[in-house]
Amino acid sequence: MKKLLLALALILSVTAQADDKKSACINVLQVGMYNGLLEKICGFNGGVKAKMQNIYAEGGCVPLINGEIIDAVSSDVTNDTYSRKNAMGEKAFCAGNKQAYNALK
């Protein structure tokens, strides 16, 4: 019984780590997409999107995140970004995001 509980604890730990990694990968994907849109809309040129793409690829995220998730994240990020830009106006939107963007360079 003790061995079974130990094995179960190990499996749950590995599963939790996998879920954490998948969540982290989705977060990197969101950040990369958002900053890619900032580069497009605002003309920011610090290469943050490319850095996030490298982190995503080198972090082993590619096999963890399927196309369905990527499409959903892309849709959410794009809709949210343009909603914010339209509500704030492009100039205020870009000015409001410049400092955070530069911090990721």
Residue 87 contacts residue 51 (beta carbons within 8 Å)? no
Tell how far CA 53 is from the center of its chain: 9
Q: What is the pLDDT of residues 25-66, one digit of tens each?
A: 999 999 999 999 999 999 999 999 999 999 999 999 999 999
Task: Confirm if 63 and 91 have CB atoms less than 8 A apart.
Answer: no
- Closest-CA residue to 40 (of 88, 90, 4): 90
Spell out the domain ranges in the chain. Answer: 30-37+47-105
- Largest Cα separation within the chain, whole Å, is 64
| pLDDT of amino acid 6 | 37
Rounded CA-CA distance 18/12 in Å is: 10
